[in-house]
Amino acid sequence: MSHTPTNTARAAQAKVWFITGAARGLGLALARQVLAQGHRVAATSRNLAGLRQALGEGGERVLALAVDPVSEQAVQTAIDQAVATFGRIDVVVNNAGYGQQGTIEALTDAELRRNFDVNVFAPMHVLRHVLPHLRRQRGGHIFNIASIGGFHGGYAGWSSYIAGKFALAGLTETLAAEVAELGIKATVVYPGPFRTEFLSKDSLVTARQAIGDYKAAQASLDLHVGSMDGRQAGDPDKLALLLLQAASVAQPPLHLFAGRIANTLAEEKMAAVRGDMAAWRGASDATDFPEGA
C-alpha cells in the first residue's frame, strides 16, 4: 500500500537553504525550485525590494535579506538572522558574483580587487560565518558556484573572472578536505553558458581601458555579448534541479559540471593536461634526486 507523506513528514524532510545572489539568474531559479519542493530559503541580494518581488509569496518559508556581499558584517548578520528564523542552515549556495572582462595588461588594480572582493572574498565571508553553525550540527552541504572557466581557463580577455573562479574551485577542494570529518559536504559547480542575465550590462563589467593589439580578447567579448547573450544552451531551472538532486544524495560530487558544453570543455582540458604530462614526463621526473640519495 502506498502512503502520501503527512505535513509533519514533509516538514521533517525540509531543508533550510541559504542562497546568495537570489534576485535573478541561477540564484532566483534555485530559490523558486527550493520552495516548490517544500524547503525553506534564506535568500540574499543587494536589492531587497527586487528580491521580494522576484520571490513572490513564499510565506513563512522565505526570508529575504538585503546583503552587500562585500561587507563581512552584513553577511554575518544575514546568517545569524537565518539561523534565528529557521533554527538551522542545511545547504549554502555561494552564487553571487559578476563577470569582469579585460586583458591582464588593461585591467586596473581597482577593477581586479573589486572583482575578487565579490567573487572570492565574499564567499569566504559566508564560509567563515556559516561553518560554526554547520560544525555544531555535524552536517550541511556547501555549493560554490564557479564556472567552466574555473576549470578550463583558455579564454582571452577574461583573466580576472577566470582567476577568481579557479580560486573558488581550489578553495572548495580544500574546504571539502577540512570539513569531511565534521559530516559537511562541499561541491564546486562548473556551469557552462546558461541563459541568465550574466552577459547583461548589470552583470558584466568591461575594463575601462581597451588595448587594440589584443584582437582575440575583443573577439571573445564580441562573441559573448553580441551572439551568445540570450541564446545560451543551458536552462537555469534545470541547473537548479541538478543542485537539488546533488543536495539530496549521501555522496554528492566534489566537482559538478553542468551542461554538455561544460562537460566537453572539461574533457578537452583534461586531455590537454595529460598530453603535456606525457610529453614532458621524462624531463619532469628527472628533476628529483636519485632514489636513495
- Residues acting as catalytic residues: 161
Please state the three-class secondary structure of the chain as a single string. Answer: CCCCCCHHHHHHHCCEEEECCCCCHHHHHHHHHHHHCCCEEEEEECCHHHHHHHHCCCHHHEEEEECCCCCHHHHHHHHHHHHHHHCCCCEEEECCCCEEEECCCCCCHHHHHHHHHHHHHHHHHHHHHHHHHHHHHCCEEEEEECCHHHCCCCCCCEHHHHHHHHHHHHHHHHHHHHHHHHCEEEEEEEECCECCCCCCCCCEEECCCCCCCCHHHHHHHHHHHHHHCCCCCECHHHHHHHHHHHHCCCCCCCEEEECHHHHHHHHHHHHHHHHHHHHHHHHHHCCCCCCCC
